[in-house]
Structure 1
Amino acid sequence: MRLVAEFTTEPFDVEGQPPAHATEAFEAAQQAGLESDFGPLGTSVRGEQEVLLPALTGVLEAAFANGASQVTLQVRRDGVVRTPREGSGLNGLLAEVAAELGGPLSGLSRGDKQRAVLLLEAKGAFEYRKSAEIVAEALGVTRFTVYNYLNRARD
């Protein structure tokens, strides 16, 4: 069975070059023979289960050996999009939260945007594929900002 893993290493460093904990984790995935896509806020890797799962140990070791304080990891079957609830999907959740907060999400204050992200998380919005990018676009912020809002709430 083919699997997809997505991981984000922290702390985030948006200035200059990507931090060693991110680049070395990516390098470990590539050395394991996984199809890898490096992004500024996270990396996705694909491969057969018997290759990918053991390779994740090396990815995690590389991240922590090079200064990561935390690694967030999600693994799913390749090609499977998880839908957390019946209904109108992510766009419906965005409209629902906009109505709760009294206007278009992009026009909200910073504090209300943070609140919107927390409401969306509580409603299961981040279980949808590519949700962080879609939420970021709706809010008029970067994906990094969405992840920061989520991480602050969890701390």
Structure 2
Amino acid sequence: MTADPVQVEHPLLTAVAPLLARVGGELVDPGALAADDVPLVWEGQTVAGVRFGGAVETAAEPAGDLAGLLAALAAELGAPLADLPRPQKQRAVRLLEERGAFAYRRSAETVAEALGVSRFTVYNYLNRERS
């Protein structure tokens, strides 16, 4: 982490630390924010930024976005997607569909792998939600 040690004790940074650890984000000093970083603003003041590693988004390689959606959903649900019980996996597929995850090429295979189920099961979950 590159943030000033005083800022590390800020309540906002303390609150987001577990989330950043789960999704692979890194805190950066406000003065070191890059264009792709997410500023963390508290009472009108930028106290830090979040920098995410991983795939760079390009038109030819949208899988970074899908990976981000999967990581964010796992953090939101509080467990690795493969460890969820079946009803939660069905909910995860519904949420992923709402968030546009299935617009990506080979997304069903990627989602199936993340959930620890077959591609056929993902399609069944999708069809169940649509009917």
Q: TM-score, normalised by structure 1?
A: 0.44
Paired letter, 1:121: E
Say if 2:100 is the partner of 1:124.
Answer: yes
Q: State whether residues 82 and 128 of structure 1, in contact with CA within 8 Å, keep that contact through their aligned partners in structure 2.
A: no
Distance verdict in 2 for CA 1:127–1:104, change over 3 Å: same
> 1:101 aligns to what?
77
Q: Runs in 1 of length 4+ with deviation above 2 angstroms? A: 80-83
For 1:114 and 1:122, how far apart are their aligned partners in 2?
Answer: 13
User: Which structure has the higher relative contact order (CA within 8 Å, separation 6+)?
Assistant: 1
Structure richer in strand, relative to its length? 1
> 1:141 aligns to what?
117
Distance verdict in 2 for CA 1:149–1:81, change over 3 Å: farther
Structure richer in helix, relative to its length? 2
Count of residues in Structure 1 that have an aligned counterpart in Structure 2:
73
CA-atom RMSD in angstroms: 2.1
Q: Deviations over 1:93-136 (max 9, x none)?
A: 00011111111000000000000001111111000000000000
The runs of 5 or more residues in structure 1 that have no matched partner are: 1-79
Deviation at 1:139, TM superposition (A): 0.3
How many percent of aligned residue pairs carry the same amino acid?
Answer: 67
